[in-house]
Each structure stands twice: as structure tokens, then as C-alpha cells.
A and B are shown apart, each in its own frame.
Chain A
Amino acid sequence: MRLTPDAWIFWQYGFISLNATIVFTWVLMAVLVLGGALITRRLTTSHERSRWQNLLEIVVTTIMSQIKDVGLKNPHHYLAFLGTLFLFVAIAALATVLPGYEPPTASLSTTAALALSVLVAVPLFGISSQGLMGYLKSYLQPTPIMLPFNLISEVSRTMALAVRLFGNMMSGAMIIAILLSITPFFFPIVMTLLGLLTGMVQAYIFTILAAVYIAAATRSSKAVKVPSPAPAA
């Protein structure tokens, strides 16, 4: 039993190893990109459109509305990053119904890479939104004393992102593998269904947390005015 698909190595040369994590990631990338390209090849702008186009538009507009609900004013700007995060994690979880498949997100290397990308993307979006100095000042908020804690927060929340997703995905795959060896017929199906749900929830949580971090970075220096309560009549 493998704890991580990293251990499923197809080819290795020195420290370069072609493991299941990378291969399944490529497969998912191919599915996402080819599927998207196939559907978007025949997009129509009229009122009549195909159900696949309709599905894609629903997915894209829903992601954008969620990004907007988090507090990011220009969702187009963040759609590529956050939308890809969500779709990749979600498709990786949904594909667990296929036999012989192991989700790349069950690898701590993948979740760490995704968390690192969030760790890099947050300051990039923050700097592009309020400038370098404005963003750096956000680490001194509310007082300079909070600088180390803010830095620790940055690192810890990145680690939390990585470990949370890895733990959930890995545990789901592990439980199914264990149950398959004990009660091969009924319970693995139920746990697979539960794993699908868990995977979707994790994709949502990962994306929303990334969006919240980006939102915090892009507006941290702006004073948030709390409306004073209306005087009693």
C-alpha cells in the first residue's frame, strides 16, 4: 500500500522521477484543456447554445460570482488562477471513481505545489493591486509588532492549505483501499460517494481560502469603515 502516488514510479533518472502524480496530473491537464478547447471551438453568441457550452458558462459564471462574493471586485482578473485551482482539485477528486486512478491531490507534493502557488500568487496580486510598498505595509498592520506573526501566518496558512487537502484526499483513498481489502463490495461504494463529496468540498474550501487570502492582500491597507449604528428613534 502506497501512502502517496509519488511512490508509484514509472521511470526514474537520478532525482528525476516520472511518478503517478505527474502522469495523472498530465492526464487531468489533457482532459481539462482538450475538453475545454473542444467545447469552446463551437461557441455561439446567439441565444441557442449547446448544453456543453451552457455547462461551461454556468461553471465559469458560478466561479466568478463566488470570487465576487468573497470580496474581489474584478473577478475576471483572478478567474484563471482561482478557477483552475478549483477545477483541477475538483476533477482530480471526481476522477477517483475510475479504477486504477490515484488523485494527484493525494500527494503532499501536489498540494504543497498548489499551496506554494497560492503563497506566491497572494503577494503578486497584492502588489499589482496596491503596489509593493502598500503590500509590504500590510505586514505591519495593525502594528509593526505584528510583523513576525504576520509572516508566521503566511507560512502556516500555506502549510495548512497543503496538509488539509492532502490529508482529506489521501485519507479518502486510503480508506477505500483498506475497505476494499476488508469488505470488498458495499462499503467501498459508499465511501467512494463520500470521497466524491469530500473532494468537492475540499476543492471549494481550497479555492475560497485562496480567494480570501488574495482578497485580504489586495485590500489590507484600505481602512474598513464600520458603519455607525443608527441613532435610536
Chain B
Amino acid sequence: MLIDWFTVGAQLLNFIVLVWLMKRFLYQPVLNAIAAREQKIAATLADAATTEAEARRQQREFEQKNQAFEQQRADLLQQATKAATAEGERLRAEAARVADKASAMRAKALATDTEHLHAEIVRRTQQQVFAIARQVLDDLAGASLEQRVCEVFVQRLQAADDEALSALGKALRDTSEATPALLRSAFELPAAQQTAIQAAMDETAGQTIALKFETEPDLVAGIEISAQGQKLAWSIEDYLSALSSAPHTAHESDATVAA
């Protein structure tokens, strides 16, 4: 007989015991270990997911901050650019204003210099003309310039129009020893000329008048009489003034034609 029923029963019991022992010592611990590991892995994955979510949140936050920062930087840059442009404009305007001021001052100084130079030229020209005229008069007429000046003055006095002459005569008549008429000349008049002029004055006034002679070099070879606010004068300066104004007039005429 191949089957021993006692052995069958013993093996059945053995198998049942083995099942229990294997479950107790093998399957359950292994399954527990696997479950614990799976749980740990799941926890790790959950942690990783949480960390990733946090990282993504921080990344988004960082990107937003970065974007805001870029925007702020752009705004600040724009403001700075605008401010710099405005400041540049202001500085340019200030520089232009200062430059205009300096230019005006320079022009004014130039004009002043020109005026001074012109005055100096006029003065020297007067002196030169006076010297030349005197020399010419000496050479041609044999009379001194002063004499000729006196003559011309007397002629002028005599040739003056009636209105001026009457006004001057009235003024001369009002003179007295206390308030004499004042005759100024650029040079010391010789006695002959003083006498001639005195005579001409007396004739103009129709009476003997008090006359005081003074020397004034600025008159430039001229004679001037003043009494009671009335004045009659002649000097080379008149000619020189005409001479000095002539080129300006000619220049202005040229400019007008050119325009």
C-alpha cells in the first residue's frame, strides 16, 4: 500500500503547522517590511511633492518679485532718465543764459573799448588836424592859426542870424563887472585878437561889455563865448564831428542800399 494514513495525517498536521509558522516568521514580517518601506517611500514622495510645491511657490514668488523689481528698476531708470534730461535742459538753458550774458558783457565791453578808441582817435585827429591846419595857415597866409581862428569867430559872430544875434546881444548887455561874459579859447589869445574880439562884442551888444578871457585846451583850436546862458562857439571840433559822423553815415547808406 502506497498510502500510509498515519503518515497522511501527520503530514497534514505538519503542513498546517508549517503554514502557521511560515505566516508567523516569514510572510508577515516580510509583508510588514514591504508595507513599511512603501509607506516610507510614499511619505518621501509626499515630502518631495510638498517640497516641490513649496519650491514652485517660492519660484513663482521669486519670479513675481523679480518682475516687480525689473518693473521698479525700469520705472526708476525712466524717472532718472527724465530727471537727467530735464537737468540737462536746465543746464543747457543756464549755460546759454550765462553765455548770452557773457556775450552781452563782452559786446558791451567791446562797444566801450570801441567808444574809447573812437574818442581817442577823435582827440588825436583833432590834435593832428589842428597842427596841420595851423601849419597850413602859417605856411599859406603867414598868419597864426590863433589869429585866423579869431577872425573866423568874429566873422561867424557877424554872420549870425538876427534871432541868435539879438539873443546874444541881450545877454551881453546884461553882463557887468561882477558877472562878465566868459570867452574861452583853446589857446592864450594875443592882445590883438582880444581887442578884436572885444570890439566885435561891443559892436554886437551896442555897448562896452565886461569880457573875461579863459583858456580851455579841450576846445581844440576854437573859441566859445557864453553870457547869461547864451553861448556862441566855433572850434575845429565841429569839423571833426562832421568828419567823424561822415564815415558812419556813408557806411549806413551802404548798408541800406545793400539791404
| A contacts, CB < 8 Å to B | 3-4, 6, 15-17, 19, 21-22, 25-26, 29, 32-33, 36-37, 40, 43-47, 53, 56-57, 60-61, 76, 79-81, 83-84, 87-88, 104, 107-110, 112-114, 116-117, 166
Contact = CB atoms under 8 A, between A and B. Distances in A.
A143 B205 CA distance: 180
A226 to B, nearest CB: 35
17 contacts: A16-B6, A21-B4, A21-B7, A22-B7, A22-B10, A25-B11, A53-B30, A53-B33, A57-B30, A57-B34, A60-B26, A60-B27, A76-B31, A107-B7, A112-B8, A113-B14, A117-B12
Given A43-B30, A108-B3, A26 B14 contact: yes
Given A46-B40, A80-B27, A108-B2, A36 B22 contact: yes
Given A84-B15, A107-B4, 12 more contacts: A16-B6, A19-B7, A22-B7, A22-B14, A29-B18, A32-B18, A32-B26, A40-B26, A40-B33, A84-B19, A114-B11, A116-B12
A72 to B, nearest CB: 15
Contact of B14 (A29, A60, A166): A29
B42 to A, nearest CB: 12
Nearest to B2: A108
Contacts of A116: 8, 12
B142 interface: no
B7 A36 contact: no
Given A22-B11, A84-B18, A6 B4 contact: yes
A61 B32 CA distance: 12
A84 B6 CA distance: 22
B21 interface: yes
B17 interface: yes
B57 interface: no
B190 interface: no
Contacts of A112: 3, 8
Nearest to A114: B15
B11 A113 contact: yes
B153 to A, nearest CB: 136
Interface string B187-225: 000000000000000000000000000000000000000
Contacts of A21: 4, 7, 11
Contacts of A46: 37, 40
A109 B18 contact: no
A81 B19 CA distance: 6
A113 B9 CA distance: 7
Contacts of B34: 57, 60-61
Contacts of B10: 22, 113
Contacts of A56: 26, 30
B7 A80 contact: no
Given A36-B25, A37-B25, A40-B29, A117 B8 contact: no
B160 interface: no
